[in-house]
Amino acid sequence: MKVLVTGGAGFIGSHVTDALVAKGHDVHILDDMSGGRRENLNSGATLHELDIRTSAAADLVQDHGFEAMFHLAAQMDVRKSVADPRFDADVNIGGILNLMEAGRKSGLKKVVFSSTGGAIYGEPEFAPQDEQHPLRPISPYGITKLTTEKYLYFYQNAYAIDYVALRYGNVFGPRQNPHGDAGVVAIFIQRLMNGKTPVIYGDGKQTRDYVYVADVVQANLAGLDYDGSGVFNVGTSVETNVNQLYSIIRDEVAPDVESNYAPPRTGEQQRSVLDYRHSQRELGWKPQVAVKEGLQQTVAWFKSEAEAKA
């Protein structure tokens, strides 16, 4: 199958690209390299270094006639979305509309969209949160992800382009970017490896559903094979608080480092945990890697990267 992966040089996108290449698909990557890394690129895929909002990106989609698109390119920083909602919408909504308009004219059949769980549901009324949970995004980032899901429903209804929207928990694993604010696992590992003490904001009791990137890749592949359209949680149904997360990572990297606390961040969500049973029933997907095992594998990858650069 001829497949486009937007954001294919990024953390999750590069892993998805690897899996698609391994399965023999003709894979093209659309990435402006603002957040992607060249070392993540798979040599078996073709890179098109373009911004998803441009006419050149639309021309690429129309000229190549992709059968399927994995849409991972995004403005993914929640705080940046709050600071600049217009830019967030320009990338996350304007970008997908640009590609979908080209795709509907050129035979696009399927879209697998990387959405979000916690940022769409907000604080849980019940836990774990399933796909029927009230949708209460409190950030522009969450709003744009939900809006994209609604646009994909429109394109399915109007143009018969099937879609699978995957509502991720907190994805972690090898290749995650330790610079910035989005990936707490990578940030903790990198700081500890550099002899620094990571900062835990608040009391560290806020919880997230941490899901390993290899499991997320399998959800994407299952989404491609799914005969139909819909929205699916990709999580573990297990809550892990920041103190627990830090303790596991610290034991693997620098056991003697104490915890360092700072005042809580304004507006930070306190709980998020996703019910994956709908994904198990419909996609045949469930998480395979426990949080501790995934963290150990991630630490091992960061250590091997550091050794290779030494």
Active-site residue set: 141
If DSSP codes are grouped into helix, strand and coil, which group holds residue 129?
strand
Q: How many CB atoms lie within 10 A of CB 136?
A: 13
- List all residues 6 or more positions away from 240 whose beta carbon is below 8 Å from its beta carbon: 207, 208, 209, 210, 291
Q: In what order do the strands lie in the sheet with 230-234?
A: 46-48, 26-30, 2-6, 68-71, 110-116, 162-168, 230-234
The answer to whether residues 204 and 259 touch, using CB atoms and an 8 Å cutoff, is yes
- Give the list of residues 6+ apart from residue 25 with CB closer than 8 angstroms, or none: 1, 2, 3
Neighbours of 281 (CB within 10 A): 11
Q: Are strands 199-201 and 260-262 parallel, antiparallel or unpaired?
A: parallel
Contact 68, 3 (CB under 8 A): yes
